[in-house]
Amino acid sequence: MIKKVDQDNKDVTNSQQLSFDGLSVISLLDEIIKDASNNEINSVKHLKTEKLEDIYSKINELVEELVVEYGIDPQEIDVDDINHEVTKLALVEIIGNKNLIQTSKVSKQQGLASQKGQFGISFNVGGSGVNAATVEMKMELKSDEKIEYYDTVVQDAIGTLMDQNGGSNVSISPAQIYRKMAGLEPGEKVSSNCEKEIIESVDKMRWTRAWIDFKEQAGKHKSLSIGLEEATLEGALVQADKLTAKIGGHQKMVYYFYRPPLSYIYSQRVNQIATVESKLLETSGVGQKDVGSKTRRNTKEFICLKHFLAKEIEFMKYQKNKGQPYESRRKYETIFQTIGAENITDKQMRRLREDVDFILSLWVERAYIKEYEVYKKGRAYAGVKIYL
């Protein structure tokens, strides 16, 4: 922790904020925290950026002020701790034009595992025959909630931001997570309601205990180069501290992430992470000729829909590149159930079909796919067929 100095007895105690009577120290510290928290730091390895180096030089000025003006023993000032705490508050506007998406079966089975609780689930991965392997998974939540598809999208955004930060621990705001999910540019305004949805999701996953055992998969699939000691994951689904800092008179909440989400780590280890261009997910300001001047707000449902379609297309492309046959059709029923749109009215169904048309027509224009068409079962619209 950053250390707080009691001016009466010079004792040093733990605190998350330094407090002094000297205006020069208060002003300097405020400048440090403001720089760390409010400025965009455009870097992959933020600990080595010019901006943070400037911040650290100011920390050195602060230490000198404490020693010279206040007579504090330099040995009582833990500079490493101060650096660490300021870094935790440093909001890095991580610049990256990619979104990483889990495609593993573990990521897809999180909802079911969270419903089963301590009883857990097991399922096969790796195909059939000698390559088939069993993965076991448990998830225990503090309440009757479950892990939903939206939570998986949040996991992918966290994993992407951490990866683009060089894999280091990093402070990330709810707004940054939302921007990455929605394909927005750094600094674009995010509503308080959208931030609230992110906070609810991250907090739920922070309190979810997860366990993933894939030793059999690691043993059978030697090409993964996973040691058996690496094939069991256990802990919080998302491991993060929730920090609140008073900066410029306003309260700012950030999460300090210690590692990627547990399911994301599994997906990384088994090489089941797809990469898409972030601009593909940007739909809030685009008008298409086949939908007039309409655009789409990035609601939870619409974000999930974009994410799911991108994941399915990436899986199809993977199979095609491997020379494997692939199913080009996706049923509306499967799409909508997966993203949590169940028991919907006919009007809601029509709107969701229009959303699918909007996304796919946009992706045709952006050359992500060649074409798509709606197919029927009998007289009813059944799904879409996607051409790569």
How would DSSP label each residue in 86-146?
A: HHHH-B-----SEEEEE-SHHHHTHHHHHHHGGG-EEEEES-SGGG-EEEEEEEE-SSS--
Q: What is the pLDDT along the chain (388 residues), one digit of tens a residue?
A: 333 333 343 333 333 333 333 334 444 555 555 555 444 433 333 333 444 555 556 666 666 766 776 666 766 666 666 666 665 655 555 667 899 999 999 999 999 999 998 899 999 998 778 889 999 999 999 888 899 999 999 999 999 999 988 888 888 889 999 999 999 988 788 999 999 999 999 999 999 999 999 999 999 998 889 999 999 999 999 999 998 755 445 677 889 999 999 999 999 999 999 999 998 999 876 443 434 445 778 999 999 999 999 999 999 999 999 898 899 999 999 999 999 988 889 999 999 999 999 999 999 999 999 999 999 999 999 999 999 9
Whether residues 85 and 97 share a domain: the answer is no
**pLDDT attached to residue 212:** 97
**pLDDT attached to residue 17:** 36
Whether residues 141 and 197 share a domain: the answer is yes
Whether residues 100 and 237 share a domain: the answer is yes
- C-alpha 61: how far from its chain's center? 36
Whether residues 311 and 213 share a domain: the answer is no
Domain boundary among 89, 118, 151: 89
Domain boundary among 278, 300, 320: 278
Structure tokens at 271: 């090489």
Structure tokens at 44: 């992959």
Structure tokens at 281: 């997910």
Cβ contacts of 36 within 8 Å, gap of 6 or more: 52, 55, 86, 87, 89, 90, 91
Whether residues 132 and 232 share a domain: the answer is yes
Whether residues 85 and 216 share a domain: the answer is no
Whether residues 245 and 326 share a domain: the answer is no
Count of CB atoms situated within 10 Å of the CB of 284: 14
CA angle 157, 117, 105 (to 5 degrees): 45
As a 3-state breakdown, the chain gives helix, strand, coil percent values, each rounded to 5, of: 50, 20, 30
How many domains is the chain partitioned into structurally? 3
Structure tokens at 186: 């750094």
CA distance linking residue 196 with residue 198, whole number of Å: 5
Domain boundary among 278, 309, 339: 278
Whether residues 81 and 108 share a domain: the answer is no
Whether residues 127 and 197 share a domain: the answer is yes
Question: Scanning the structure block, which residue is given the tokens 């180096």?
Answer: 53
Range of the domain at 184: 91-278
Bridge partners of 242, per DSSP, are 255
Mind giving me the DSSP string for 205-267? Answer: HHT-EEEEE-HHHHHH-GGG---GGGSEEEEESS-EEEEEEEETTEEEEEEEESS--HHHHHH
Whether residues 109 and 201 share a domain: the answer is yes
Please check whether residue 170 is in contact with residue 162, taking contact to mean a CB–CB distance below 8 angstroms: yes
Cβ contacts of 178 within 8 Å, gap of 6 or more: 157, 184, 190, 194, 195, 197, 198, 298
CA distance linking residue 345 with residue 64, whole number of Å: 67
**pLDDT attached to residue 287:** 40
Whether residues 189 and 292 share a domain: the answer is no
**pLDDT attached to residue 290:** 39
Complete edge-to-edge strand list for the sheet that includes strand 371-377:
329-331, 380-387, 371-377
Whether residues 187 and 330 share a domain: the answer is no
